[in-house]
Amino acid sequence: MSNYCSSPLLATFLLAVKNWMTILAIIIPILLILASVIRFLKLMNNPEEKNGLKKIRNMVLAAVIIFFIPILVNVVMGFLGEKTSISSCWNNAKKYKANNSYKPSSEKDTKNVIGNPQEYEKGKANGSGTGAGPANSVSDKTDYRNGSLNVVKIINANANAPTSRYRSLQAACYTGRHVVYSQNTNYGTNKGSSYGGRICWTLLDSGKQEKCVEVGEEGGHMDGLAYDNDRGYILKTSTKNKLMCYDNVKMEFVGYSDIDRVHVGMTYIPSIHMLVGYSGGTFVFYKYNQSKNKYEKHHTVQLKNYNGVSVQGLGTDGTNIFIADSEPNTSYRALYTYSLTGDKLETFSFGSGFSSLSSEVEAAFADNNGVLYLACPLGIGKVTNYTANKIGLSS
């Protein structure tokens, strides 16, 4: 069950109940205590009044009980967690309302730190929208079938050229405006595939490269890239079970988050607000724990009928997961679409236009118009014969 409410109406109602319950739990005990004080003063002036102390005791006891009612209700709902729709929405109503009523402000809050969700302005960067922000609802428009994908190259990664410092593109993700991709360094050396490289932000519509950030040796191999749109961070797998976090607005490194393991491929699913990594025929789902600054394992899903050879990366159409599977030393390459429950929805091979992108598929993603893109060693390709879900990022 999702950790968010099923509808804005339910979220609004439960949030109002929580707020009024908190307000009344403060006001009513104060009034009862004031009434008790007044009655106590009257009792001192008239000691013979019957049941005076008993009434005072009952009012004070009622004040204490009423004060603790919201605390007790929150404890019970927290214990139930996501076992019921009401408790799930109760625990997340405020977050749901905030995410689904997001409106960019005019200024950035520069006090944001790595351990907190993005609270500053996430819709502007150098005067233009970035597409960062909460997920919108996505409708299921994916054309589930088996077939062959036709591709046209739209972004050149300038990889493997004699004058380039960088090797082939290894992973990519989509932010609503930019495609962010990673490349290895030191082409032609033995350690080029495992000693970091760079991460680049490129406009998807024009192919203009806006900024690249160098990644040191702690970045390891450049596989594993995702965009956590709830926090506004680009996530890069790193050594020692950590994720390198890059502010998508500032386009710069801001710190680390912990994770249970390192995944070759990973993606962030806007519709469920979870990070998903691939490991040995299994999807591993993570939820971000702000207090621990950690992506904690939520659950795993075993893939059904998976017959791939070598997973290179993941991607999403906002609702389902793409698996880019290819073998660099052979002509084998395939793209699978899987549901969040591990069901295989479709399998694709590759047709015309792919030769300009090299022999592998490193990742796949849909944009906000449902267009499918493939990240390949020599660049980004646009698929011309496929319809997917909108990815669900605000733009």
- With beta carbons less than 8 A apart as the criterion, state whether 295 and 259 touch: yes
In a domain, 24, yes or no: yes
Q: Are residues 75 and 161 in the same domain?
A: no
pLDDT digit string, tens, across residues 286-308: 999 988 899 999 999 999 988 88
Checking if the pLDDT of 3 tops 70, the result is no
Q: What SS3 class is residue 374?
A: strand
Q: What is the CATH number of the domain that holds 356?
A: 2.120.10.30
Choice among 7-16, 46-55, 129-138, 147-156 with the minimum mean pLDDT: 129-138
- With beta carbons less than 8 A apart as the criterion, state whether 87 and 80 touch: yes
Provide the pLDDT confidence category of residue 365 given band limits of 50, 70 and 90.
very high
pLDDT digit string, tens, across residues 317-354: 988 999 998 876 667 788 999 999 999 998 888 766 67
Containing domain of residue 74, as a range? 8-100
- With beta carbons less than 8 A apart as the criterion, state whether 321 and 338 touch: yes
Distance CA 81, CA 356 (A): 50
Provide the pLDDT confidence category of residue 27 given band limits of 50, 70 and 90.
very high
Distance CA 58, CA 152 (A): 78
pLDDT digit string, tens, across residues 92-101: 666 554 444 3
pLDDT of residue 237: 87
pLDDT digit string, tens, across residues 213-232: 988 777 667 788 999 999 99
In a domain, 241, yes or no: yes
Q: Are residues 93 and 177 in the same domain?
A: no
Q: Number of structural domains, the chain? A: 2
In a domain, 245, yes or no: yes
Q: Taking Cα atoms as reference points, which of 307, 234, 308, 305 lies closest to residue 266?
A: 234
- With beta carbons less than 8 A apart as the criterion, state whether 364 and 324 touch: yes
Pairing type for strands 147-149 and 197-203 reads unpaired
